Chain A
């Protein structure tokens, strides 16, 4: 019953048989960052567009090579920082100078000076959350099931191997073509990974 609803909605893992994708793509396995980078470049030259590289640590240049756009994270964070700042001002002004006017040490009901610390702290707090959650969102994590994990040697990507995947959505995707292509780039172990 629930299953039916979910599949009607076509939520991940419940797509109807028809819509379900068979093959994720082809993944090749390289020894060094340099090899991987070279492979990416050749693939790009060969006109592949839907690619993804996997590595145990960030490799400078790979994303440029893959032609990825700039990350929007910075802009998100700025917005939240300002929200935090404004929130702090409102909180301290409204509670002290509007809602309950208490005479404290004969001081003004609201002043900027004593409000600064909390303004700063709230700004930082909100932007920190924005950073982390924003990153999670952009990276689509947590996502515990991913076809990538069906690759027999995916574990290498978190150890000392450097993987390149050419995905099925790629217009030029032709499984055995791609396998051959990656081998030619120097992949140690190429395999077709099902979705």
Chain B
């Protein structure tokens, strides 16, 4: 294969891959390659001609992409032998499916080009996606093609096969009897079919136990509900109904919800033009999260102090009528804050909301529930349904499992997904415990768990397998495969079916039969409908009438809550890069900076400037953290606005057994995480004296210049609601009207593309960055190159802090090429490689560019990206299958940048022409960033059409151009950030 890969270096586009399915068919290289890439059933792959196989075959074709040696390379065209319904060569196919992370499911629509899934979008029909996606869902597509996935059934590292495993299982199961020796440890699942299988297994092995574990779980939410209402329930917040929101350590816009829904709802109330009153967000948190950044008022408090803050707030709200005695002492400032917040809440009875974060103990959730009840929000802004998963005391179950394993009571342990050995609480030495039983582990990559298992089974990617999921509100979706398992992996469902002793063990049969049973008669068309729409109607859970007996609950809460000990504490957070470690081998996620710290390719111990001073550390100083006799090391990173005496740690780094991308990236903090301090708890922090290189994509974090101390205006504009109203009445006042020195091109005719980005809605969640990378084949450069300032993202999120360093405000600004009508980059290019289209797009002709980088120097927004090296050189062949065939893969030495997804524009244009040369409708063209954005902060369209959304937005009083005085006439303008502060607190 090597020589083929080398030849392939010359290839410039992903499109070529389909073109050259050619040599595939018979060459010996291909056969070897298939053997290597698809060890499972290579033979049947080569012979059978079934649809999926053929599509897979095409995909595999990328392995031999374009042998372009001479002037006229002999290229071949391999049309299908027999037709595939709905497939037109060159047109993408879209399939609805769904994906769950940590038990939170979202509906997706996946685009497949010639059999290769290449892009993920949200499913507008799905209540938790509403057409948007988050960064992780965007990046999931890359994991599909991860060459380092588990790709071969093994028995203790020795090549084996599914057949052998199944026969092993048969004899093993014979010995299981009532199943007292059988334990199943699975990742959290909401799959109805799996639920059914669980029941079967429980019937077959009454003494067996099924443990569900997620390192990032929402158990405390349901437990809180249990405390308040006596039953495990999931609260569903209706942020779009709430005028006032108080968040108790809940990053509901970020990693504490893992779906687009809350953002959609929240952002809908941050757009003053819409006529609806702007909502007001009070946030109480220890880490500075993007929710905190969106807050109108923010209180820094250690995670462990949030309980007392909650009590204080409850008292202010006079929840029970009875006097509450509050733990600890809240400072005067906090008192003022809480008083104002409480007043605000009460002023908006039934239209307010108190939300608590999943890190907070059940008591706080119970308190929140009581407050909402007292405020009459229950049934209005918050409704409760039963959880779509088996809620319970997971940590207890895990503890029990450890004991059983230790005591040798477990003969057979089946691990279904996840990476427990890496992520389970550190109380026990799981590596050792796993040796005490016959462990069969189904894992996605060759991770720590895989290494510790007897049977090592490759798990299929959600896009490779049939399945079903339930959204948090119960809405079910069918998960349909986009491509056959590239490495012959199987799904948890299929293994469960094996354990349950089913005859029908193919995912399709399992899911199909389950739903057939549900539907009975018209199963057929319901199935078709479900597949088509991506949601199964009528599956949503009914709201539960939840009423809490306030005094009793309060008493319980008071009894349970203890004052938090003073001193340093550590708090565990999911990571923006790896989530809980599952994306640790995903280069896109590693290179996408953390929204607040802008850190890439690492995790860090975040602490406040004051705490840093106290510990005598600065950025990059290695800290040793210890708790309960366990130590971990993690480099310090100062985050303004972080709570004092609190250290935030991100999970999912320092993977010892991982693919090429993630191995040894960052520092493992799970080693500190026991049941006792599962989310937070006291710890000692010590400076080790060692230092570590942390790389961020932003060097300067405020709009205040060093040396002069002046603030830079005209970059990010912010108004308070009053200022905005005043401005809206009096209209934009032009300080110095710009005059042109020379006439220019007339942009008044035809389509004129433009964009408006609403800083008031943008939460800085990175979804647009990853979506852009996926859509535009943006390369990954790695930590060292980012350190040199060579990251390639076409759209970046600039984050600026303002105000005092200890307790600042933050604002996010998505910055991509703003398509200046008078583009400074164009006039300086000697070879006219970047010129303007008559429709106002600043075009970049890669194949003309010679790479003088003059345009980069002359771009005031610094949004141009240069291929300093051949970033695509060492990409494994299989990884190239993710390339978007409509976008050129850039070679070394050329400049690149955002072009408003011109490939999408041209596609719609030619479609409109084909349909009788009709005009392109407003909203028909959607850029990748816009499509992904959960906050609807990005609007694209034809500014020449006064009726278009974008044209209307550009009429708004808060519309402005960045660096306006340069008179570059940007086509992308910004809508100023509007804050809605409580007059009592300013």
Q: Could you tell me which A residues sit within 8 Å of B by CB distance?
A: 102-108, 111
- Cα–Cα, bound, A149→B254 (Å): 95
14 contacts between A and B (CB under 8 A): A102-B835, A103-B835, A103-B837, A103-B838, A104-B826, A104-B832, A105-B826, A105-B827, A106-B745, A106-B836, A107-B822, A107-B827, A108-B743, A108-B744
- Cα–Cα, bound, A106→B835 (Å): 9
| A residues near B742, Cβ cutoff 8 Å | 107-108, 111
| B residues near A111, Cβ cutoff 8 Å | 742
Contact with A along B720-757 (1 / 0, CB 8 A): 00000000000000000000001111010000000000
Q: How far is the CB of B745 from chain A (nearest CB, A)?
A: 5
- Cα–Cα, bound, A108→B744 (Å): 5
Contact A106 B822 (CB under 8 A): yes
| B residues near A108, Cβ cutoff 8 Å | 742-744
Whether a CB of chain A sits under 8 angstroms from the CB of B893 is no
Whether a CB of chain A sits under 8 angstroms from the CB of B114 is no
| A residues near B747, Cβ cutoff 8 Å | 106
**Extra pairs beyond A105-B826, A107-B744 (7, CB < 8 Å):** A103-B837, A104-B835, A105-B836, A106-B821, A106-B823, A107-B822, A108-B743
**What 8 A-B pairs have minimum CB-CB distances, sorted nearest first?**
A106-B744, A103-B836, A105-B827, A105-B826, A102-B835, A104-B826, A106-B822, A106-B745
Q: How far is the CB of B199 from chain A (nearest CB, A)?
A: 67
Q: How far is the CB of B835 from chain A (nearest CB, A)?
A: 5
- Cα–Cα, bound, A107→B969 (Å): 13
| B residues near A102, Cβ cutoff 8 Å | 832, 835-836
| A residues near B827, Cβ cutoff 8 Å | 104-105, 107
- Cα–Cα, bound, A19→B747 (Å): 78
- Cα–Cα, bound, A154→B22 (Å): 79
Q: Which residue of B lies closest to A102 (CB)?
A: B835
Q: Which residue of A lies closest to B829 (CB)?
A: A104
Q: How far is the CB of B838 from chain A (nearest CB, A)?
A: 7
- Cα–Cα, bound, A105→B969 (Å): 10
Interface of B is mostly: loop
| A residues near B837, Cβ cutoff 8 Å | 103
- Cα–Cα, bound, A104→B829 (Å): 9
| A residues near B826, Cβ cutoff 8 Å | 104-105
Give the most central of A103, A104, A106, A111: most B CB within 10 Å. Answer: A106
Whether a CB of chain A sits under 8 angstroms from the CB of B127 is no
Give which listed residue, B743, B745, B824, contacts A103 with CB less than 8 A.
Answer: B745
Q: How far is the CB of B132 from chain A (nearest CB, A)?
A: 35
Please report the total number of B residues contacting A with Cβ < 8 Å: 18
- Cα–Cα, bound, A105→B745 (Å): 9
| A residues near B822, Cβ cutoff 8 Å | 105-107
| A residues near B836, Cβ cutoff 8 Å | 102-106
| B residues near A107, Cβ cutoff 8 Å | 742, 744, 822, 827
| B residues near A103, Cβ cutoff 8 Å | 745, 835-838
Q: Could you tell me which B residues sit within 8 Å of A by CB distance?
A: 742-745, 747, 820-824, 826-827, 832, 835-838, 969
| B residues near A104, Cβ cutoff 8 Å | 826-827, 832, 835-836
Q: Which residue of A lies closest to B832 (CB)?
A: A102
Contact B823 A105 (CB under 8 A): yes
- Cα–Cα, bound, A111→B837 (Å): 20
Q: How far is the CB of B593 from chain A (nearest CB, A)?
A: 31
- Cα–Cα, bound, A105→B823 (Å): 5
- Cα–Cα, bound, A111→B741 (Å): 13
| A residues near B832, Cβ cutoff 8 Å | 102, 104
- Cα–Cα, bound, A103→B743 (Å): 12
| A residues near B969, Cβ cutoff 8 Å | 106
| A residues near B821, Cβ cutoff 8 Å | 106
Q: Which residue of B lies closest to A109 (CB)?
A: B745
Q: Which residue of A lies closest to B828 (CB)?
A: A105
Q: How far is the CB of B833 from chain A (nearest CB, A)?
A: 10
- Cα–Cα, bound, A104→B826 (Å): 6
Give the most central of B824, B832, B969: most A CB within 10 Å. Answer: B832
Q: Which residue of B lies closest to A104 (CB)?
A: B826
- Cα–Cα, bound, A127→B904 (Å): 53
Q: Which residue of A lies closest to B820 (CB)?
A: A105
- Cα–Cα, bound, A104→B842 (Å): 9
Q: Which residue of B lies closest to A96 (CB)?
A: B832
Q: How far is the CB of A67 from chain B (nearest CB, A)?
A: 54
- Cα–Cα, bound, A108→B827 (Å): 11
- Cα–Cα, bound, A111→B743 (Å): 11
| A residues near B820, Cβ cutoff 8 Å | 105
| B residues near A105, Cβ cutoff 8 Å | 744, 820, 822-824, 826-827, 836
- Cα–Cα, bound, A105→B747 (Å): 12
- Cα–Cα, bound, A107→B820 (Å): 12
- Cα–Cα, bound, A104→B744 (Å): 9
Q: How far is the CB of B826 from chain A (nearest CB, A)?
A: 4
Q: Which residue of A lies closest to B824 (CB)?
A: A105
Q: How far is the CB of B639 from chain A (nearest CB, A)?
A: 41
Q: How far is the CB of B300 from chain A (nearest CB, A)?
A: 47
- Cα–Cα, bound, A108→B824 (Å): 14
Q: Which residue of A lies closest to B822 (CB)?
A: A106
Q: Which residue of A lies closest to B836 (CB)?
A: A103
Q: Which residue of A lies closest to B744 (CB)?
A: A106
Q: How far is the CB of B559 from chain A (nearest CB, A)?
A: 72
Q: How far is the CB of B256 from chain A (nearest CB, A)?
A: 46
- Cα–Cα, bound, A102→B745 (Å): 10
Q: Which residue of B lies closest to A103 (CB)?
A: B836
Give the most central of A102, A104, A107: most B CB within 10 Å. Answer: A104
Q: How far is the CB of B654 from chain A (nearest CB, A)?
A: 49
Q: How far is the CB of B895 from chain A (nearest CB, A)?
A: 15
Q: How far is the CB of A8 from chain B (nearest CB, A)?
A: 50
Q: Which residue of B lies closest to A113 (CB)?
A: B742
Q: How far is the CB of A6 from chain B (nearest CB, A)?
A: 46
Q: How far is the CB of A149 from chain B (nearest CB, A)?
A: 51
- Cα–Cα, bound, A69→B745 (Å): 57
Q: How far is the CB of B947 from chain A (nearest CB, A)?
A: 25
- Cα–Cα, bound, A103→B742 (Å): 14
- Cα–Cα, bound, A106→B820 (Å): 9
- Cα–Cα, bound, A103→B836 (Å): 5
Q: Which residue of A lies closest to B743 (CB)?
A: A108
- Cα–Cα, bound, A106→B747 (Å): 9
Q: How far is the CB of A103 from chain B (nearest CB, A)?
A: 4
Give the most central of B745, B820, B822, B837: most A CB within 10 Å. Answer: B745
- Cα–Cα, bound, A108→B740 (Å): 12
Q: How far is the CB of B832 from chain A (nearest CB, A)?
A: 6
Give the most central of A102, A104, A105, A111: most B CB within 10 Å. Answer: A105
- Cα–Cα, bound, A105→B824 (Å): 6
Q: How far is the CB of A187 from chain B (nearest CB, A)?
A: 63
- Cα–Cα, bound, A186→B13 (Å): 87
Q: How far is the CB of B104 from chain A (nearest CB, A)?
A: 48
- Cα–Cα, bound, A108→B743 (Å): 7
Q: How far is the CB of A95 from chain B (nearest CB, A)?
A: 10
Q: How far is the CB of A70 from chain B (nearest CB, A)?
A: 44
Q: How far is the CB of B714 from chain A (nearest CB, A)?
A: 21
- Cα–Cα, bound, A181→B95 (Å): 112
- Cα–Cα, bound, A108→B742 (Å): 8
| A residues near B823, Cβ cutoff 8 Å | 105-106
Q: Which residue of A lies closest to B825 (CB)?
A: A105
Q: How far is the CB of A97 from chain B (nearest CB, A)?
A: 13
- Cα–Cα, bound, A105→B820 (Å): 8
Q: Which residue of B lies closest to A111 (CB)?
A: B742
| A residues near B744, Cβ cutoff 8 Å | 105-108
Q: How far is the CB of B815 from chain A (nearest CB, A)?
A: 20
- Cα–Cα, bound, A81→B670 (Å): 78
Q: Which residue of A lies closest to B968 (CB)?
A: A105
Q: How far is the CB of B548 from chain A (nearest CB, A)?
A: 65
- Cα–Cα, bound, A108→B835 (Å): 13
Q: How far is the CB of B816 from chain A (nearest CB, A)?
A: 19
Q: Which residue of A lies closest to B746 (CB)?
A: A106
Q: Which residue of A lies closest to B827 (CB)?
A: A105
Q: How far is the CB of B910 from chain A (nearest CB, A)?
A: 22
| A residues near B824, Cβ cutoff 8 Å | 105
Q: How far is the CB of B854 from chain A (nearest CB, A)?
A: 13
Q: How far is the CB of B751 from chain A (nearest CB, A)?
A: 15
